[in-house]
Amino acid sequence: MKAVLCVRHGPAEELELHDLPDPVAGPGEVVVEVAAIGLNFFDTLIIRDLYQTKPELPFSPGGEFAGRVVALGAGVTQPRIGTRVCGYASYGAAREKVVVRADRLAEVPDELDLVRAAGLIVTYGTSLYALRERGELKSGETLAVLGASGGVGLAAVELGKILGAKVIACASSAPKLAFARAHGADMGIDYTQEDLKLRLKELGGEGGIDMVFDPVGGDQSEQALRALGWCGRLMVIGFAAGEIPKLPLNLLLLKNCDARGVAFGTQARRDGAWLTATVKELLGYAHSGRISAHVDATFPLEQTAQALDEIAGRRVKGKVVLTTGL
């Protein structure tokens, strides 16, 4: 099988395509022939050794995948050979076959294509975990989403609407805002043209903003924090802007508000049953059309470096997915 390998830490251009022996399933495992691999911002970091997860070299990037089961390990009766499945891995999915635990897979409905299935686990899983479990978002509350046209931002916009929130999309250009509005956002702020704090306060009204979903970091984090209302929540998702902000903690005290971290990957590894249930829920939303699972572009496995460069350059609306041709 072919596999994209990080053999030394560095930029995406240094990734290599190798031929490796086909994997063999152990007890409780299955082999999945991979059709599609979802890429995420953390993939641009893990290959440069800048992410909290630090796999031994060599390894494959790619944290989510979809395909068909082609072999069963000892003791496995479900899923059956030929079943269309998707799953989450911290890394290692950018290859033509993967070995995974059978109980960590979710069956993909026949009407949902594998490319979209491969791209929804991390972004929508992160957003649902942030909004519902960690953030306790309530129907009728006001949610501001930074980076609203990116993969995880778009997911927060769509899931925020499902949970009954009024959603303010915040992005760095008019086309990105239009994209977020087309996917359900009620209002929009271009923070390259408007003062983010002042505009959020205006749109939040007397009660202020109840929740900020922040996968961006940088200067926008403190501005958004200052716009929170009483008992508001700043959900810390990541730092796509490249700068980890240092927030003045007196703001949390004065506003009686919270800054809450969201570590989807850690939660997924700690609680496999929760992960499987969450993925099944999200597949149901995609199958019924309640979420778009939007894929901005696909790249063949051989062009993984180009795909990661698109993500690093913040040029993606929704997701980028690799395809194997299988």
- 112, 22: one domain: yes
- 83, 16: one domain: yes
Instruction: Provide the mean pLDDT of the chain.
Output: 95
What is d(CA 47, CA 213) in angstroms, rounded to the nearest whole number?
26
* Residue 278 is assigned to a structural domain of this protein: no
Q: Is the pLDDT of residue 242 over 80?
A: no
Secondary structure of residue 7 in the 3-state scheme: coil
- 132, 253: one domain: yes
Domain-ending residue, one of 264, 280, 311: 264
With CA atoms as reference, report the closest residue to 38 among 155, 176, 171, 139. 155
What does the CA dihedral 121, 127, 128, 133 come to, rounded to 10 degrees?
Answer: 130
- 251, 317: one domain: no
Residues 106-149 have pLDDT tens digits of 999 999 999 999 999 999 999 999 999 999 999 999 999 999 99
Query: What secondary structure does DSSP assign to 158-214, as a single string?
Result: HHHHHTT-EEEEEESSHHHHHHHHHTT-SEEEETTTS-HHHHHHHHHTTT-EEEEEE
- 154, 242: one domain: yes
Q: Is the pLDDT of residue 63 over 90?
A: yes
Domain span at residue 305?
Answer: 2-119+293-323
Number of structural domains found in the chain: 2
* Residue 63 is assigned to a structural domain of this protein: yes
- 132, 222: one domain: yes
Confidence of residue 207 (pLDDT cuts 50, 70, 90): confident
Q: Is the pLDDT of residue 326 over 80?
A: no
* Residue 34 is assigned to a structural domain of this protein: yes
> What is the structure's pLDDT at 68?
98
Average pLDDT value for residue range 21-46 = 96
Report in angstroms the alpha-carbon separations of 274 from 125, 133, 223, 267, 290.
11, 11, 34, 8, 21
**Is the CB of residue 268 less than 8 Å from the CB of residue 88?**
yes
- 127, 103: one domain: no
* Residue 246 is assigned to a structural domain of this protein: yes
What is d(CA 18, CA 155) in angstroms, rounded to the nearest whole number?
33
* Residue 270 is assigned to a structural domain of this protein: no
Q: What percent of the chain has pLDDT over 70?
A: 100
* Cβ count within 10 A of residue 185: 28
Average pLDDT value for residue range 44-51 = 95
Does 244 or 20 have the greater pLDDT score?
20
Tell me the CATH number at 61. 3.90.180.10
Domain-ending residue, one of 264, 279, 310: 264
- 61, 162: one domain: no
What is d(CA 309, CA 170) in angstroms, rounded to the nearest whole number?
23
Q: Is the pLDDT of residue 201 over 90?
A: yes
* Residue 279 is assigned to a structural domain of this protein: no
- 107, 15: one domain: yes
- 28, 79: one domain: yes
